Structure 1
Amino acid sequence: MSNLLLNAIRHTPPDGVVEVSGQAIGPEVEFAVRDACGGISPSDLERVFDVAWQGDSARTPQPHTGRGAGIGLAIVKGVVEAHHGRVRVANSGPGCAFVVTLPG
């Protein structure tokens, strides 16, 4: 959760909104992190959980001192799947929605 939240904050402009929500859906628990990053190109949506993938300049540019190693989202996927869950991403509104579903 912290990795998704930190990524959302990092890629959302100062006047943007990051939203975190959670809900029980039957026997599962779902939580989502929605940001205002400007979206991810459709060709990259399938790659965001790959090791070493990093967003391109289409995402909202902002000054920061360095780039990550591109392993955070791969770790998120690995941890979620180790707990028999699923993680997905889609462009939504002014940014992206990362949704994690875990067994209850």
Structure 2
Amino acid sequence: GAQADNIKNWSFNDSEAFKCYFRCLFISEQVVSEQGGDFNDDNYFKFFKTPDLLANADNCHTEKWISTAHECQGAYEIMKCNYIANPEGVREAFIDYFYKKSN
């Protein structure tokens, strides 16, 4: 769907809008609530389908970032950590995730 198409054109950057995209993503996919609190590991790990991506996701799953995942900067730092480790893999995983979700 449209979300997957947008990801194809990602320009990973540190703009506030891009950071807040990940906050909205985490909230809409029920990884975190708007108020913070519990971090839903199951929903977070659903984004990552391969053993390599899951290992990276686990490495990026730090208490510091989880505690602020309901904020733009915290959500961005988690996703930036994943993206730096495997840019193409993360992009493909998110495209796959949203295509499956929209069909």
Normalised to the residue count of structure 1, the TM-score between the two structures is 0.31
More strand by share: 1
More helix by share: 2
Max Rg structure: 1
Normalised to the residue count of structure 2, the TM-score between the two structures is 0.32
Higher relative contact order (CA 8 A, sep 6+): 2
